Amino acid sequence: MTGLPSGFKSISGDNAAKIERARQIFFDVFGAYGYRVLLPSTLQLFGSCRDRLSPGVRSRMLSVNAPSGETCCLRPDLTLAAVEHMGSSYSPDERPLRVCYGDRIFRIPTQPDLEVENFQLGAELLGWEGEGADVELLTLLLNSLDALEVRNSFVVIGDVTILENLLQEVPFQTASALRDALRMQSFTSYREILSRAPISEALRAPLRALPSLRGGVDALEAAAGILPPGCPLEGIGSLLDALNFAGYKERVFVDLSLTRELDYYSGPIFEIFSEGQGRPVGGGGRYDGLLSSFGIIGQATGFSLNLEQILEKAPDPGGERMFVMAWSGSLSPENAMLCAKYFSDRGIPLEMSWVKQRSRSVDLARHRGYRWWTDLSDDHVYDLLDNSSLPRSEFPPKGVPHA
Amino acid sequence: MLNIAVPTGRMLEVCVPVLTQMGLPCKKLQSPGRALVITEKHCRYLLAKPMDVPAYVHYGAADLALAGSDVLMERRVPLVELADTGTGRCRLVIAGPDSIASRFAGIGSRLSGLRVATKYPVITDSFFNSRSIVMKIIHMHGSVELAPLLGISDCILDIVQSGETLRVNGLKVLQEVAHVSMRIVANQRFTQTNWKMISQMIDSLQPWKGRRYHDDKH
């Protein structure tokens, strides 16, 4: 019995420490470039989310009633929450706005997952004008993946305007079906719909080739020869050039048939992959349309990462941070806390032990996996691995990490 | 190493010719014994229950897989569906005794309250829900044909190939739900980094599929 409804979870111990560490690393990377931490409300107005999310996400929202009687939902998407807050809380002359966040989202799970709540890290850059923001965000994203030690991570970039450009002359229902097939990633359905579509061969050929236009820079060169003139390849081309110039050539790919589950993207989009994960660990892109639905004129781009997916394969940060158990012994509590300050002042984490018997304190330290134990009333620290001791002034010994 | 999930049981026999045509080594796969992992040259085959195949791909344990379209419809796991192999063809149907055939011939409201036994609760729910028919699903894991015979359900939703099992058990097809065939699927990461290899494998299936289609017609 967890005392929690199915699909929900409380996180503690090492897992909680890993999440907090990752959040801090992420905030440090983005904070260094002027991104400010956002803590959005867990409850959002149901109607506001419903109108702006795709049917696939809409059907997975968890509705609840606020005490005021308003129909709400548990936050299904952090970008939406961020844009809503920024749109209502900041004046136009404060833009561009840069925010980053690390928080939970709530969606009814789809197979084979069972979890309703998931931790996401993300960043948004809102209300900017001109080039640079996509490059800034993607560069910082790749930097943060390195800082988080996500192994063999890479980014796949697409652009929704390319597909929309090709679908301009396609009958509405067929265009919708083709879009859905790509979103579902069913190339079987895509090819089948395309083969029956009442369109000219000149239009069918580039659409048929679209899912194959993926890979490195060469895919973009191939696309220029296959897609009709006027197809907007410049945006993704210059983005790719910039990231190649920044040294990310081996970690950036293109996929011109890339689509995202959320409807609000309106330009370059991307998905993030890491080692050992078949599905993307995150994604994002340009969403100017969403911004305008909140009455904000300008451009916006952002992304989110599934934090728990990333941490599944991340290397262990190494050991328990809190590694000295400090026994109060014969000292009064206030004196024991004063003596313990010796360790904390030196950045050495400790856990206080208030039990009466010395042996019980040592047993507890061993049980918790601590290597070091000290009696605060004497000036020695004991190594529980080999039962040796050393003067407090020589602790920690050389080569033992302590923070 | 290329990790490929394949379904065990009858479907494994269907998979071997497809994999051979794709240019993959599968001599050992023809007689796997009790092994669940079989390595041949650059390929590692993961033998999984048909319904579990999508999960192996989704979580990245397998790069590629062969899976029936019925399994993909039921599991609804986000995977890249690369191609229809045209093999393992059968149909998903609703079948039942003659006595309820008239209910299917009429308007939808006559089906209200129907009890449907099935191994495919997700497909069943979606099929009837999209027609605004309220029914009760009886989730079973095998020998679904027994349910109407014993009065547990009014009809079944299941796959049918020749129709012989239905006939022997006094059932007939009342409505077709979908055509089923073996599909090649991959995880999203693999398709982004190995598209050339995938294209070659899929292309190698085209003439074979064409020939099979021609043979089927005659």
A111 contacts B193? CB cut-off 8 A: no
- Interface residue of B64, B81, B87, B203 to substitute, partner A, most A CBs within 10 Å: B81
Pairing of strands A117-128, A97-106: antiparallel
Partner-chain residue, chosen from A110, A185, A277, that has the shortest CB–CB distance to B80: A185
pLDDT for the residue numbered B209: 65
A185 contacts B79? CB cut-off 8 A: yes
The strand order across the sheet containing B90-96 reads B135-139, B114-118, B155-160, B90-96, B172-180
Please tell me the distance from the alpha carbon of residue A177 to that of residue B45, in angstroms, as a whole number: 34
pLDDT range class, residue B104, cuts 50, 70, 90: confident
Same fold, B2-89+181-217 and B90-180: yes
Nearest-Cα residue of chain A relative to residue B60: A278
Q: How large a percentage of chain A has pLDDT more than 70?
A: 96
* Complex prediction ipTM: 0.83
Residue B120 CA, distance from chain mean position: 10
Nearest-Cα residue of chain B relative to residue A188: B83
Place of tokens 């807050």: A85
Please tell me the distance from the alpha carbon of residue A185 to that of residue A173, in angstroms, as a whole number: 18
Q: How large a percentage of chain B has pLDDT more than 70?
A: 93
Residues of chain A falling short of pLDDT 70: 1-2, 315-322, 399-403
Tell me if residue B176 falls in helix, strand or coil.
strand
B142 exposure class (CB count in 10 Å sphere: 0-12, 13-18, 19+): exposed
Mean pLDDT of B188-195: 94
| Paired tokens of B75 | 């599991």
CB B184 within 8 A of CB B202: yes
Find chain B residues with C-beta within 8 A of A110's C-beta.
76-78
CB A162 within 8 A of CB A256: yes
- Tell me the DSSP string of A236-300: HHHHHHHHHHTT-GGGEEEETT---SSTT--SEEEEEE-TT-SS-SEEEEE-HHHHHHTT--SEE
Partner-chain residue, chosen from A156, A188, A212, that has the shortest CB–CB distance to B192: A156
B76 contacts A185? CB cut-off 8 A: no
Q: What is the pLDDT of residues A7-58, one digit of tens each?
A: 898 988 888 989 999 999 999 999 999 999 999 999 999 998 988 888 888 9
Q: Is the backbone peptide bond immediately before A55 cis, with ω within 30 degrees of 0?
A: no
Nearest to A251 by CA among A340, A336, A146: A146
Strand ranges (DSSP E) for A54-182?
A: 62-65, 71-74, 97-106, 117-128, 154-159
Nearest to A336 by CA among A360, A354, A356: A354
pLDDT for the residue numbered B25: 93
Amino acid at A398: K
A334 exposure class (CB count in 10 Å sphere: 0-12, 13-18, 19+): exposed
Please tell me the distance from the alpha carbon of residue A371 to that of residue A387, in angstroms, as a whole number: 10
Find chain A residues with C-beta within 8 A of B77's C-beta.
110-112
Partner-chain residue, chosen from A212, A271, A279, that has the shortest CB–CB distance to B58: A279
Please tell me the distance from the alpha carbon of residue A339 to that of residue A336, in angstroms, as a whole number: 5
CA distance A209 to chain B (A): 12
CA distance B185 to chain A (A): 9
Q: What is the pLDDT of residues B61-97, one digit of tens each?
A: 999 999 999 999 999 999 999 999 999 999 999 999 9
Please tell me the distance from the alpha carbon of residue B155 to that of residue B104, in angstroms, as a whole number: 11
At residue B153, does pLDDT exceed 80? Answer: yes
CB A375 within 8 A of CB A362: no
Binding-site residues on chain B for chain A (CB distance < 8 A): 54-55, 57-63, 75-84, 122, 183, 187-193, 195-196, 199
Domains in chain B: boundaries: 2-89+181-217, 90-180
The strand order across the sheet containing B182-186 reads B37-40, B43-48, B2-7, B64-68, B182-186, B80-84
- DSSP tally for chain B: helices H, then strands E: 9, 11
Residues 6+ apart with CB under 8 A from B29: B6, B12, B15, B16, B19, B38, B40, B45
A395 exposure class (CB count in 10 Å sphere: 0-12, 13-18, 19+): buried
Binding-site residues on chain A for chain B (CB distance < 8 A): 110-112, 154, 156, 184-189, 212, 214-215, 253, 255, 271, 273, 276-280
What domains appear along chain A, each with residue ranges and CATH number?
1-151+274-315 (3.30.930.10), 154-264 (3.30.930.10), 324-394 (3.40.50.800)
Place of tokens 């015979």: B149
In CATH terms, the superfamily for domain B2-89+181-217 is Periplasmic binding protein-like II (3.40.190.10)
B90-180, what's its fold? D-Maltodextrin-Binding Protein; domain 2 (3.40.190)
B77 contacts A111? CB cut-off 8 A: yes
Please tell me the distance from the alpha carbon of residue B99 to that of residue B118, in angstroms, as a whole number: 19
B60 contacts A277? CB cut-off 8 A: yes
Mean pLDDT of B195-200: 92
A280 contacts B75? CB cut-off 8 A: no
Residues 6+ apart with CB under 8 A from B11: B50, B66, B68, B88, B182
Partner-chain residue, chosen from B76, B183, B190, that has the shortest CB–CB distance to A111: B76
Nearest-Cα residue of chain A relative to residue B54: A112
CB A141 within 8 A of CB A272: yes
Residues constituting chain B: 218
CA distance A278 to chain B (A): 4
pLDDT range class, residue B217, cuts 50, 70, 90: very low
At residue B207, does pLDDT exceed 80? Answer: no
CB A218 within 8 A of CB A237: no
Backbone angles phi, psi at A24, to 5 degrees: -65, -45
B82 contacts A279? CB cut-off 8 A: no
Q: What is the pLDDT of residues A242-279, one digit of tens each?
A: 999 999 999 999 999 999 877 778 889 999 999 889 99
CB A79 within 8 A of CB A87: no
A167-170, long-range: CB < 8 A, 24+ apart? A167/A207, A169/A199, A169/A203, A170/A197, A170/A199, A170/A203, A170/A207
Find chain A residues with C-beta within 8 A of B122's C-beta.
111
H/E element, B81: strand B80-84
CA distance B83 to chain A (A): 5
Q: How much is the CA Rg of chain A, to the nearest whole Å? A: 27
The strand order across the sheet containing A380-383 reads A350-353, A324-327, A372-375, A380-383, A388-391
B151 exposure class (CB count in 10 Å sphere: 0-12, 13-18, 19+): exposed
Tell me if residue B45 falls in helix, strand or coil.
strand
CA distance A151 to chain B (A): 13
pLDDT range class, residue B158, cuts 50, 70, 90: very high
